[in-house]
Chains A and B, each alone.
Chain A
Amino acid sequence: MKGDPTVDRLLRHLHGGDPRALARAITLVEDQQPEAAGLLAGLDQKRIEDVLVLGLTGPPGAGKSTLTGALITALRKQKYRVGIIAIDPSSPISGGALLGDRIRMMEHALDWEVVVRSMATRGRLGGLCASAGAAARIMAASGCRVVILETVGIGQSEMDIVRLADLTALVLAPGFGDDIQAMKAGILEVADLLVVNKADQPGAGKLQLEMATVFTDPKEREERICATVANEGTGVAILLDRIFTLEGEFRSNGQLHARRKRSFQLETLDWAVEIVKADLREKLKTTTFTSTEPRQAAMEMVSRSGECI
């Protein structure tokens, strides 16, 4: 907790940008160690205020990691320190995970101003939101100007993670994510920018035209869709430009503040559920129920009358 010498030392080092302290801090949070709460409470709030958390989501294979690599290059040209959190699903059977997003970002491997962290979902999306959100703040506190959150976005639950971001780009490519393209109406609920990647591939033009129909305002249509060839870096400077412009807008019109408030609530709820769950598990061991019906038994457990539902 606060005043814990180990936590204080870790905080001092990570605020100075020390790579190991930063990495340790993220592990403490990810493993939900008791020191995590005090650590997170001690982070530099000004830096957290100033960071841009950029969500990159889209179907597997669309080029998110490659695009992340290209964005890193563009951000480093502007001398910004960058954080990347690349999230992939844990195997539901073994609980293990194979995390390979780094492969596409290896050209930055020796640049300590580029902080890459791979994370597995560990089967609990709520908890993941909490750890990913906390990891983004730790990276921000270490001096990152931008933190990119890469997630595979196909279902609604993965989209939850996107809500942690200040601004989200949906990455599509010809032939990838036809299911996402089918839910065109819903796209704007999760994405601020649409990236048509693999613009060098057949079908990209058609995809771009299709995506254009998502926007009714011609100005938005112009500004919210970007075409890129991530592995060549084409279109990435423009994309980054749009990202920063939008960030500026969101900061001045209160949108960013509103989103952070929402993600604060989401994360707080996730933590509350995690904490209550642990308590309930303990309670379960010693409780004798009058009801044999799980739903009613649950009501008994949380001392609520079943009638209010």
Chain B
Amino acid sequence: MKYRVLIGKPGLDGHDRGAKFIARALRDAGFEVIYTGIRRTPAEIAAAAVQEDVAAVGLSSMSGAHLRLFPAVVDALAQAGADDIPVLGGGIIPAEDVETMRKAGIREIFTPGTPVDTIIAAFTEACKMQRDRENNEG
């Protein structure tokens, strides 16, 4: 089974190197990656995630706004009736923020230096759980 994921870049900064790097790495690991480009609002990311029926959403932030933006995406997904879709995030995120982010509903946080294999494994696991859950629900 193919896993479909969305890679989004919320916020105003235009640094999408990290997002693109992860998008390509996931593609090369066999994922179908929907890339939505830079400067997306949380609501836009959530709407795209719903329409594309992705099994997971990955977010990238380089601007330090992750504390506000990542939870905002989680909220936007809930608003769009998709609070079950797992959200993972990475970028320039200090280690001390990890716990806060997890509490806000972000499934995994990748701090700088996380090996790409770890990131891919986390996406695989998140997607697998999501699809299993959906199949059980029918």
Contact = CB atoms under 8 A, between A and B. Distances in A.
A291 B1 CA distance: 35
Interface residues of A, number: 31
Contacts of B23: 98
A305 interface: no
Chain B interface residue bracket vs A: 20 to 34
Contacts of B138: 6
A103 interface: yes
A94 B27 contact: yes
A112 B34 contact: no
B96 interface: no
Contacts of B134: 24
Interface in B31-68: 31-37, 40, 43-44, 47-48, 50-53
Contacts of A268: none
Given A31-B1, A102-B36, A96 B26 contact: yes
Given A97-B27, A98-B23, A98-B24, A110 B47 contact: yes
Interface of A: 6, 19-20, 22-24, 26-27, 31, 90-91, 93-100, 102-103, 106, 109-110, 112, 115-118, 120, 122
24 contacts: A19-B80, A20-B50, A20-B53, A20-B82, A23-B50, A24-B53, A26-B53, A90-B32, A91-B27, A93-B28, A95-B2, A97-B32, A98-B24, A98-B35, A99-B32, A102-B36, A103-B36, A106-B36, A109-B43, A109-B47, A115-B51, A116-B51, A118-B34, A120-B2
Contact of B52 (A96, A98, A112, A117): A117
B112 interface: no
A274 to B, nearest CB: 16
B55 to A, nearest CB: 9
A61 B138 CA distance: 40
B81 interface: yes
A96 B36 contact: no
Nearest to B54: A23
Contacts of A95: 2, 30
Given A100-B35, A117-B52, A109 B26 contact: no
A149 B26 CA distance: 25
